[in-house]
Chains A and B, each alone.
Chain A
Amino acid sequence: MILDAKIPAGPLAEKWSKHKFNLKLVNPANKRKYNVIVVGTGLAGASAAASLAELGYNVTAFCFQDSPRRAHSIAAQGGINAAKNYRNDGDSVYRLFYDTIKGGDYRAREGNVYRLAEVSVNIIDQCVAQGVPFAREYGGLLDNRSFGGAQVSRTFYARGQTGQQLLLGAYSALNRQIHEGKVKMYTRTEMLDVVVVDGKAQGIVTRNLVTGAIETHAGHAVLLATGGYGNVFYLSTNAMGCNVTAAWRAHKRGAFFANPCYTQIHPTCIPVTGDHQSKLTLMSESLRNDGRVWAPKTVELAQKLRKGELKVTDLKEEDRDYFLERKYPSFGNLVPRDVASRNAKEVVDEGKGVGASGVAVYLDFAESIARLGEDTVRAKYGNLFDMYYQITDEDPYKVPMRIYPAVHYTMGGLWVDYNLMTTLPGLYCLGEANFSDHGANRLGASALMQGLADGYFVVPYTVGDYLATIGPKPIDTTHPAFAQTKKDVEDRIQQLIALKGTKTVDEYHRELGHIMWEYCGMARSAEGLNKAKGLIAQLKVDFWKNAIVLGENEEFNSSLEKAGRVADFIELGALMIEDALNRTESCGGHFRVESQTEEGEALRDDEHFAYVAAWEYTGEDKPEVLNKEPLVFENVKLTQRSYK
Chain B
Amino acid sequence: MNLTLKVWRQKNASTKGAFVTYKADGISADMSFLEMLDVVNEGLIHKGEDPIHFDHDCREGICGMCSLYINGQPHGPKRAITTCQLHMRTFHDGQTITIEPWRAGPFPVIKDLAVDRSAFDRIQRAGGYISVNTGGVPDANEIAISKVLADEAFNSATCIGCGACVAACKNASAMLFVSAKISQFALLPQGQPERYNRAMAMVEQMDKEGFGSCTNTGACEAECPKEISLTNIGRMNRDYFTAKFLKEEEEHKS
Contacts and interface: CB of A to CB of B under 8 A. Distances in A.
17 contacts: A66-B114, A70-B63, A72-B63, A74-B58, A75-B60, A84-B141, A128-B137, A130-B190, A131-B184, A131-B185, A173-B129, A273-B30, A276-B38, A277-B35, A390-B61, A457-B134, A548-B48
A375 to B, nearest CB: 15
Q: Which 4 A-B pairs have the closest CB atoms?
A: A140-B144, A172-B129, A129-B137, A133-B154
Nearest to B43: A504
A397 to B, nearest CB: 17
Interface string B126-142: 11111111110111110
Given A131-B184, A165-B157, 5 more contacts: A159-B154, A279-B59, A457-B134, A506-B42, A555-B12
Contact of A548 (B45, B129, B143, B157): B45
Nearest to A452: B134
B48 A142 contact: no
B60 A66 contact: no
B124 interface: yes
Given A75-B62, A133-B153, A558 B53 contact: yes
Interface in A335-383: none
Contacts of B127: 179
A559 B81 contact: no
Interface in B15-66: 28, 30-32, 34-35, 38-39, 42, 45-46, 48-51, 53, 55-65
Interface in A67-112: 67-70, 72, 74-75, 84, 86
Contacts of B118: 66-67, 187
B134 A47 contact: yes
B235 to A, nearest CB: 15
A599 B175 CA distance: 60
B87 A390 contact: yes
A65 B125 contact: no
A340 to B, nearest CB: 21
Contacts of A171: 124
A50 B131 contact: no
Contacts of A124: 140
Nearest to B58: A239
Nearest to B85: A390
Contacts of B114: 66, 556
A281 interface: yes
B121 interface: yes
Contacts of A128: 137, 140, 143, 190
B9 to A, nearest CB: 13
A278 B129 contact: no
A125 interface: yes
A462 to B, nearest CB: 14
A136 interface: yes
Contacts of B49: 550
A281 B65 contact: no
Given A130-B132, A175-B128, A65 B137 contact: no
Given A66-B116, A136-B147, A129 B58 contact: no
Interface string A113-153: 00000000010111111110111111111100000000000
B59 A138 contact: no
A110 to B, nearest CB: 25
B222 interface: no
A133 B59 contact: no
A75 B110 CA distance: 26
A84 B140 contact: yes
Interface residues of B, number: 76
A379 B2 CA distance: 40
Contacts of B140: 84, 124-125, 127-128, 134, 142
Given A74-B62, A129-B132, A277-B35, A391 B144 contact: no
B120 A67 contact: yes
Contacts of A278: 32, 34-35, 38, 59
B102 to A, nearest CB: 12
B51 A550 contact: yes
Contact of B51 (A136, A273, A558): A558
Given A66-B116, A391-B87, A456 B134 contact: yes
Nearest to B112: A556
A51 interface: yes
Contact of B121 (A175, A176, A559): A175
A103 to B, nearest CB: 24
B1 interface: no
A164 B130 CA distance: 17
A279 B34 CA distance: 11
A355 to B, nearest CB: 12
A130 B189 CA distance: 11
Nearest to A176: B129
Contacts of A273: 28, 30
B93 to A, nearest CB: 17
Interface string B177-203: 000000011001011000000000000
Contacts of A72: 57-58, 63
B63 A210 contact: no
Interface in A227-244: 237, 239-241
A627 interface: no
A318 interface: no
A595 interface: no
Nearest to A70: B63
Given A128-B140, A133-B150, A559-B51, A387 B190 contact: no
Contact of B60 (A84, A276, A387): A387
A158 B59 contact: no
B153 to A, nearest CB: 5
A187 B114 CA distance: 14
Contacts of A277: 35
Given A390-B87, A559-B45, A239 B57 contact: yes
A402 to B, nearest CB: 13
A240 B59 contact: yes
Nearest to A168: B157
B92 interface: no
Contacts of A550: 45, 48-51
Given A142-B140, A172-B128, A276-B28, A556 B111 contact: yes
A54 interface: yes
A452 to B, nearest CB: 10
B188 A133 contact: yes
Interface in A517-555: 548, 550-551, 555
A161 interface: yes
Nearest to B37: A278
A139 B144 contact: yes
Contacts of A161: 62, 158
Contact of A50 (B31, B32, B63, B134): B134
Contacts of B6: none
B146 interface: yes
A198 interface: no
Contact of B134 (A51, A74, A131, A241): A51
Contact of B39 (A51, A159, A185, A276): A276
A127 B82 CA distance: 27
A65 B63 contact: yes
Contacts of B185: 131
Contacts of A138: 147
Given A69-B161, A142-B140, A556 B110 contact: yes
Residue from A68, A179, A393 with most neighbouring chain B CB atoms (10 Å): A179
A551 B112 CA distance: 15
B184 A240 contact: no
B103 to A, nearest CB: 17
A141 to B, nearest CB: 5
Contacts of A237: 60
A179 B81 CA distance: 32
A68 B185 CA distance: 20
Given A159-B154, A457-B134, A276 B35 contact: yes
Contacts of B28: 273-274, 276
Nearest to A143: B147
Contacts of B32: 278, 391
